[in-house]
């Protein structure tokens, strides 16, 4: 368990790698949220901690996961330690992990996250939805980022925010790009500026919308 501080709220919370897992009594969608893939972006972690801890398992059909990203960087409130954790999710990098003797800090984070990801995919039937919560260095309106695929477009169009298409053309190795190559819906959500309290509010709202649109939380 680690302590994560948010400057906007002047608040510290204790979290683990799995912020929360909520498993309903009936099979259904599997919704996986990531927060803090970048260590200076704490809004997503705080939003997940707030929303998921208020949900009763009796109201869930399927399974919901909240997962902490770069724990080492979150401890220091910096984007990353040595390598950007959201730029190393290529097939080449993943395959090389098996043959290394030493690892940089983000590779150690990646190994643990990759194991969790594989376990989730092997433990459930789906459908699967993967959501990565982020913030930006400058002030901005909330928006969605997706790899330009039909399944991503269909789901992202449900949300009342702008959509930025084709991030895979400009960024090499994002986590969601790797997940999308596996054939699953994967959306990134930028909720606003890093240290703006409104970013947490927007992330909370988006998490709740995802839970509603996927029908994983019973109405």
190: Cα separation from own chain's centroid: 11
Distance CA 78, CA 101 (A): 26
Tell me how far apart the alpha carbons of residues 90 and 177 are, in angstroms, rounded to a whole number: 9
Residue 99 has, within 13 A of its CA and on its CB side, a CA count of 5
CA–CA distances in Å: residue 137 to residues 140, 175, 192, 218: 9, 20, 8, 36
Query: What CA–CA distance (Å, rounded) separates 62 from 34?
Result: 18
pTM of the model: 0.96
3-state secondary structure of 17: coil
SS3 content of the chain, % helix, strand, coil (to 5): 40, 30, 35
CB-based contacts of 79, cutoff 8 Å, min separation 6: 38, 39, 40, 41, 73
pLDDT tens for the chain, residues 1 to 219 = 889 998 888 899 999 999 999 999 889 999 999 999 999 999 999 999 999 999 999 999 999 999 999 999 999 999 999 999 999 999 999 999 988 889 999 999 999 999 999 999 999 998 999 999 999 998 899 999 999 889 999 999 999 999 998 776 777 899 999 999 999 999 999 999 999 999 999 999 999 999 999 999 976
- Report which of 44, 202, 49 is spatially closest to residue 134, judged by C-alpha positions: 44
CA-based torsion, 85, 87, 90, 96: positive or negative:
negative
Helix pair 197-213, 43-52: axis angle to 10 deg: 50
Residue written as token pair 């084709």: 166
Structure tokens at 88: 């190393």
Q: What is the DSSP letter of 83?
A: S
CB neighbours of residue 1 within 10 Å: 7
For 146-180, the three-class secondary structure string (H helix, E strand, C coil) is: ECCCHHHHHHHCCCCCCEEECHHHCCCCCHHHHHH
């Amino acid at each position: 368990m680690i302590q994560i501080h948010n400057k906007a709220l002047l608040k510290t919370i204790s979290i683990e790698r799995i912020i929360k897992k909520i498993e309903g009594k009936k099979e259904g969608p599997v919704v996986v949220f990531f927060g803090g893939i970048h260590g200076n972006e704490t809004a997503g972690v705080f939003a997940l901690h707030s929303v998921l801890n208020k949900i009763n398992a009796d109201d869930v059909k399927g399974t919901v996961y909240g997962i902490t990203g770069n724990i080492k960087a979150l401890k220091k409130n910096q984007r990353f330690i040595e390598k950007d954790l959201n730029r190393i999710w290529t097939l080449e990098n993943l395959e090389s992990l098996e043959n290394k003797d030493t690892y940089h800090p983000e590779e150690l984070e990646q190994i643990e996250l990759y194991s969790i990801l594989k376990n989730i995919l092997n433990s459930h039937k789906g459908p699967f939805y993967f959501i990565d919560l982020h913030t930006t260095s400058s002030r901005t309106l909330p928006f969605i980022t997706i790899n330009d695929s039909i399944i991503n477009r269909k789901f992202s169009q449900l949300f009342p925010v702008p959509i930025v298409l084709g991030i895979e053309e400009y960024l090499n190795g994002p986590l969601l790009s790797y997940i999308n190559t596996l054939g699953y819906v994967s959306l990134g959500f930028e909720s606003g500026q890093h240290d703006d309290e409104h970013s947490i509010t927007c992330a909370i709202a988006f998490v709740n919308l995802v839970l509603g649109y996927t029908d994983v939380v019973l109405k």
